């Protein structure tokens, strides 16, 4: 089954073709980072308009790379939510229009399910069941995954997720948007142990996360050491030390909670998905810790850690193999808990 997938939930336009026999056939991605950088964050209206401009050319490019025509497709998938309503409507509208014109089934996909199953794009693929650490945008969550659509939430973020904390702390240090990768790069120049920051909820006896206090600790430190809280007044070496300790605190918590989830479920496999999953320090620590326990950890290719069409085409193909799709009406779901996929409700 060949499925064309559209991802337009936020500030990346992604298009891909996934074949259940051949795997990922082709994909293309346009990032809006440069456009939003001037505003220090994503502007929803600009994001939606850019998706409108990009989605058709990217589709043509992807099909050409795959050596396919629209008639060769067996189905179409799009991100139904969560995300920005206007951005989601672009992908939903294009996908449904194409499906109607071609007489092909169209299915809405949960954005987080795409991230959750993105390691299945690579070889070797993790076998079910496994524990999943989802660290994407505003989400820091742990799930027990028994199969496609069979998810049990083990731990959730109580306030700022890891990705949000990275971006907000980067801004406190005067780093350019998007802040997460910039902070990780700066951290590589810092010294271990030069300062000490808290590890929120490390000993909470549950699998939940909370990173707003860590961000506040950095704010307090910057205000104390830089006049008026102006990060430009901090020496670069000091900012690097702060960045290194901040990253270490995030990684310590994510690793500890992931291991606790492995122990609680008895599973030996961990998959890590989402933008923060590209963090080199996190990858190295998890490989070492899970490996010491005789387990295995799986990461998507760095290109598929951020939002992309490949993960949507993948999930669409997996679900279309077993899901009956009715008419071509559609809705988008800006807020959509992943656990709802376990309930007997239509994906449309």
Domain edges within the chain = 2-117+304-342, 128-299
pLDDT (tens digit per residue) in 311-348: 999 999 999 988 878 789 999 999 998 888 864 333 33
What's the confidence (pLDDT) of residue 342? 65
What's the confidence (pLDDT) of residue 347? 33
DSSP-derived letter for residue 233 is G
pTM of the model: 0.92
Distance CA 235, CA 237 (A): 5
* Residues in the chain, pLDDT under 50: 343-348
One fold for both 2-117+304-342 and 128-299?
A: yes
Cis peptide before 95 (omega within 30 of 0): no
DSSP 277-311: GG-HHHHHHHHHHHHHTT-EEE---GGGTSS-HHH
Tell me if the domain spanning 2-117+304-342 has CATH number 3.30.420.40: yes
User: What strands lie across the sheet with 296-298, from one edge to the other?
Assistant: 150-155, 139-147, 130-136, 269-273, 296-298
What's the confidence (pLDDT) of residue 151? 93
CA 210, 212, 216: angle at the middle one, nearest 5?
140
Q: Are 272 and 298 in contact (CB under 8 A)?
A: yes
Longest dimension (CA), the chain: 64
User: What strands lie across the sheet with 12-19, from one edge to the other?
Assistant: 23-31, 12-19, 2-7, 75-81, 106-110
What's the confidence (pLDDT) of residue 346? 35
What's the confidence (pLDDT) of residue 348? 34
Superfamily, domain 128-299 = ATPase, nucleotide binding domain (3.30.420.40)
The number of helices, as runs of H, and strands, as runs of E, in the chain is 10, 10
CA proximity to 247, closest of 191, 317, 166: 166
pLDDT (tens digit per residue) in 89-106: 999 999 999 999 999 999
List all residues 6 or more positions away from 332 whose beta carbon is below 8 Å from its beta carbon.
80, 81, 83, 85, 88, 89, 92, 108
Distance CA 191, CA 41 (A): 29
């Amino acid at each position: 089954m060949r499925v064309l997938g559209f991802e337009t939930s936020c500030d990346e336009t992604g298009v891909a073709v996934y074949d259940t026999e051949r795997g990922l056939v082709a994909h293309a991605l346009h990032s809006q980072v440069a456009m939003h950088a001037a505003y220090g964050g994503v502007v929803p209206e600009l994001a939606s308009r850019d998706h409108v401009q990009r989605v058709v050319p990217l589709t043509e490019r992807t099909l050409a790379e795959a050596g396919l025509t629209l008639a060769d497709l067996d189905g179409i998938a799009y991100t139904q939510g969560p995300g920005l309503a206007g951005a989601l409507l672009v992908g939903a509208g294009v996908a449904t229009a194409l499906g109607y014109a071609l007489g092909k089934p169209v299915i809405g996909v949960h954005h987080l399910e795409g991230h959750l199953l993105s390691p299945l794009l690579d070889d070797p693929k993790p076998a079910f069941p496994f524990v999943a650490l989802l660290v994407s945008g505003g989400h820091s969550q742990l799930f027990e995954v028994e199969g496609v659509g069979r998810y049990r939430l083990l731990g959730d973020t109580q306030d700022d997720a890891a990705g949000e904390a990275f971006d907000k702390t980067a801004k406190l240090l005067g780093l350019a948007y998007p802040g997460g990768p910039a902070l990780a790069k700066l951290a590589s120049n810092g010294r271990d142990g030069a300062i000490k920051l808290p590890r929120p909820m490390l000993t909470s006896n549950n699998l939940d996360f909370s990173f707003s206090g860590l961000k506040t600790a950095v704010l307090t430190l910057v205000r104390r050491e830089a006049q008026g809280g102006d990060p430009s007044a901090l020496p670069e070496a000091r900012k690097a030390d702060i960045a290194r300790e901040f990253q270490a605190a995030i990684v310590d918590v994510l690793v500890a909670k992931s291991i606790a989830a492995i122990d609680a479920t008895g599973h030996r496999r961990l998959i890590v998905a989402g933008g923060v999953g590209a963090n080199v320090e996190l990858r190295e620590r998890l490989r070492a810790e899970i490996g010491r326990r005789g387990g295995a950890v799986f990461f998507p290719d760095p290109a598929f850690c951020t939002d992309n069409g490949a993960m949507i085409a993948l999930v669409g193909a997996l679900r279309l193999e077993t899901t009956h799709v009715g008419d071509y009406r559609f809705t988008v779901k800006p807020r959509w808990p992943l656990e709802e996929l376990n309930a007997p409700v239509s994906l449309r």
